[in-house]
């Protein structure tokens, strides 16, 4: 066989091999069009929802709450009473005619824990999540509870939960971030409810009439 014939034969073999390709190449060509190109897989686990929670944070909160739920009463009361011990002036919220209203005090001990539990249970339903806030926070503010107090109590509960031995094997950055976000929401919603209440209050005041002489309040 001449040199030219050998080269021609080798060229044909190479072309046949290229046209055949591997089984993997054939599968890829058969299943994926040349255009448009398939979109790459997206990791949605860190995409924030309308309340700025990621899927990972919500999963961490739910998993932690499954462990916390049997101890909710203990968590709520221990955190509340230790919080009052550190902030003695706040006990005055529960005084009536100089005496501490024990019924109101004990009834309030579980309030923040119940709110946090409700928020965790409704993380995937924004309407129910907002309803839980609207049912709780405006009532406290209407009764004279300072928004700073609500934020401080929520922060104390977050610290108590993270330090608890109940979840020590399930503690994570995602859980810490999720709890911090819950505290932020409670704080911002308190301030929003307070501003709304002030708008309603001042909106019902009589409008002052500017006249000559002393300032008079119009009817």
The CA distance from 169 to 87, in Å, is: 31
Is the model's pLDDT at 107 over the cut of 90?
no
Place of tokens 């004990």: 106
Which CATH architecture fits 50-193?
Answer: Orthogonal Bundle (1.10)
For residue range 36-94, list pLDDT tens digits in order. 676 667 666 678 888 999 999 999 999 999 999 999 999 999 999 898 888 888 888 88
Query: Are the C-beta atoms of 91 and 100 separated by less than 8 Å?
Result: yes
E strand residue ranges, the chain:
95-96, 99-100, 208-209, 216-217
> What are the residues facing 99 on neighbouring strands?
96
Is the model's pLDDT at 156 over the cut of 80?
yes
For residue range 5-32, list pLDDT tens digits in order. 554 555 555 555 544 555 655 555 556 5
Amino acid 95: pLDDT: 82
User: pLDDT tier at 98 (50, 70, 90 boundaries)?
Assistant: confident
Amino acid 201: pLDDT: 37
More reliable by pLDDT, 67 or 104: 67
Q: How far is CA 166 from CA 36, 62, 65, 189, in A?
A: 51, 14, 10, 29
């Amino acid at each position: 066989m001449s040199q030219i014939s050998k080269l021609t034969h080798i060229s044909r073999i190479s072309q046949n091999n290229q046209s055949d390709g591997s089984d993997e190449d054939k599968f890829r060509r058969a299943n994926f069009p040349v255009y448009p190109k398939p979109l790459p897989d997206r990791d949605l686990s860190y995409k924030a929802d309308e309340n700025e929670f990621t899927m990972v944070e919500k999963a961490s909160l739910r998993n932690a709450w499954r462990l916390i739920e049997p101890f909710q009463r203990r968590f709520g009361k221990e955190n509340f009473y230790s919080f009052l011990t550190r902030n003695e002036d706040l006990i005055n919220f529960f005084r009536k005619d100089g005496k501490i209203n024990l019924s109101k005090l004990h009834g309030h001990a579980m309030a923040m824990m119940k709110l946090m539990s409700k928020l965790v249970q409704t993380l995937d339903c924004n309407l129910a999540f907002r309803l839980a806030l609207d049912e709780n926070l405006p009532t406290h503010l209407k009764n004279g509870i300072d928004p700073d107090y609500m934020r401080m109590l929520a922060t104390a509960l977050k610290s108590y939960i993270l330090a608890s031995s109940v979840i020590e094997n399930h503690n994570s950055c995602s859980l810490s971030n999720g709890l911090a976000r819950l505290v932020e929401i409670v704080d911002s919603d308190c301030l929003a409810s307070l501003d709304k209440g002030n708008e309603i209050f001042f909106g019902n005041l009589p409008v002052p009439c500017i006249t000559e002489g002393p300032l008079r309040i119009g009817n």
